[in-house]
Chain A
């Protein structure tokens, strides 16, 4: 199957930084034992748990609760997302129901795996979900979300595969006064493509998609997110941090579209990159397309190195250089992870980032 993959090419503007060669190579890898115990991948958080191994639901390590496992084919025009049909998971919450601490773990041993997901929150329903990607191979995922009026969804996604590739497609409809927050951390050795299309369909809707991509060696990670405001008084936030070491590349493309009638939109884009080595690359591409005339859209994009004055300040107080670099880099990344609501989850993500920094610096 992988030999006939029809993948997007860098000739397409939206895929210009995408590392499809790494994806293809990951899809072609021969499965091998990862040596990872699935139980070690779940955080110490109470709630439903689902384990997918090579894209197949593993009931022995799962307790799905209200999360259903089902086979389906999501409707999407996205070139990678459209491949993610088959066995997946569905969370559907009734009005005012709260379900927190849901964990979905994807463990790969090589080759390719496809898992679709659907999240449907009725009015004022609340859910928090943590997703973890570990192992190797090509993990291809699509998550389609629908948030009704007043619903709230908090997702935290950690990509810690040792190698291979993770491609994630998020498609969301955010209704009136509903809130969607998705925070990603790329802190493994894999290639990454995080692709988002969020649409704010109701008055006063809020959507946030952001996180941190940490790359080293010759690794490439990227995120490409488009947020579309279709209703009045909506607000959105895209706060991404990229840290690139050695000869790696981290790329961020963030787009905000404001429809003609979506007045009083408040959009924020903050894309910042940190180069740990001169041979590393950070690509940033903020985009605004605004047709309404009463909007506030702030965007900033900066790439730089560690602040040498701050580095010396820390050293002058006794902190060794490598530790000072780690502290400053961690502070740079922490801002993007601070939006994760559950303290235990946020701490786990920060620990992942810390481990990455210790290895990279």
Chain B
């Protein structure tokens, strides 16, 4: 589904990713762990197409297409979902308006008919219910006044509505209490654990992996993946730290 080959990327002239390679197949969950400053969030942003995060070498294919050649909105329409560590607050735009606009933009880009208001509301309410999010929050401005946990639940609701093929979740566990962590973990499993979908979990800690069992754990250090293992590698890192486990 996703093939990253020798990816190099820089921000404002500073090289962060220095030859990163990774292959993610359908049906797999990959966890990417690593110390601060290793390039984990940069990887997410480069794959998501954030301006100023410039790929300077290597290649990324998504479903056989050149991902780096696509605009950010086209990547989303192709089935890529980027979950933000710090979801942005947008005053003046309601969750419902934003999500309907996003979903129908994607559907139009894929040549599908847009959903009517009624069809969309039914979908949105079902996803909010499944994630334990108050229906009233759908009417509120995007992320405005939401707690850290509510923002992450909102990200999961968005993921459920948009139905991506690949979710790249950047430190989705940060700022969550135990209940919210479990809800988000359940959401990832329910929405993304399918033979035709895949997940890249970018995380510092083992605790989210207690709820979402990864198939592969990768250690990202100094801009490249230095080790790959199974779920036991995350436990070892948690126990011994990145330096000791090297």
Contact = CB atoms under 8 A, between A and B. Distances in A.
Are A and B interaction partners? yes
Interface of A: 307-310, 312-321, 323-324, 327-328, 330-332, 334-335
27 contacts: A307-B90, A308-B51, A309-B88, A312-B48, A312-B50, A312-B72, A313-B87, A314-B102, A315-B49, A315-B72, A315-B76, A316-B49, A316-B72, A316-B73, A316-B75, A316-B84, A318-B76, A318-B103, A318-B162, A320-B105, A323-B101, A323-B105, A327-B93, A328-B90, A330-B92, A331-B91, A331-B92
A321 B73 contact: yes
Given A312-B50, A312-B51, A320 B90 contact: no
B158 interface: yes
Interface of B: 48-51, 71-73, 75-77, 82, 84, 87-88, 90-93, 98-99, 101-103, 105-106, 109, 158, 162
A319 B162 CA distance: 12
Contact of B73 (A308, A310, A320, A331): A320
A318 B71 contact: no
Given A316-B49, A317-B99, A331-B91, 7 more contacts: A312-B48, A314-B102, A316-B76, A323-B105, A328-B92, A328-B93, A331-B90
Contact of B101 (A308, A309, A310, A319): A319
Contacts of B93: 327-328, 331
A332 B72 contact: no
A316 B101 contact: no
A326 to B, nearest CB: 10
Interface residue SS majority, chain A = helix
Contacts, number: 75
Contact of A314 (B49, B71, B75, B98): B98
Nearest to B79: A318
A297 B216 CA distance: 59
B113 to A, nearest CB: 15
Identify which of A308, A317, A321, A324 gathers the most chain B CB atoms within 10 Å of its CB. A317
Among B49, B51, B84, B105, find the residue whose CB has the most chain A CB atoms closer than 10 A.
B105
Given A310-B90, A328-B93, A316 B105 contact: no
A314 B172 CA distance: 18
Contacts of B92: 328, 330-332, 334-335
Contacts of B105: 318-320, 323
A310 B90 CA distance: 7
Nearest to B48: A316
Contacts of B51: 308, 312
A164 B70 CA distance: 43
Contacts of B82: 316
B88 A313 contact: yes
Contacts of A312: 48, 50-51, 72
B48 A313 contact: no
A140 B102 CA distance: 44
Contacts of B71: 315, 320-321
Nearest to B159: A317
Nearest to B89: A310
A321 B76 CA distance: 13
B101 A327 contact: yes
Contacts of A316: 48-50, 72-73, 75-76, 82, 84
A251 to B, nearest CB: 23
A298 B98 CA distance: 31
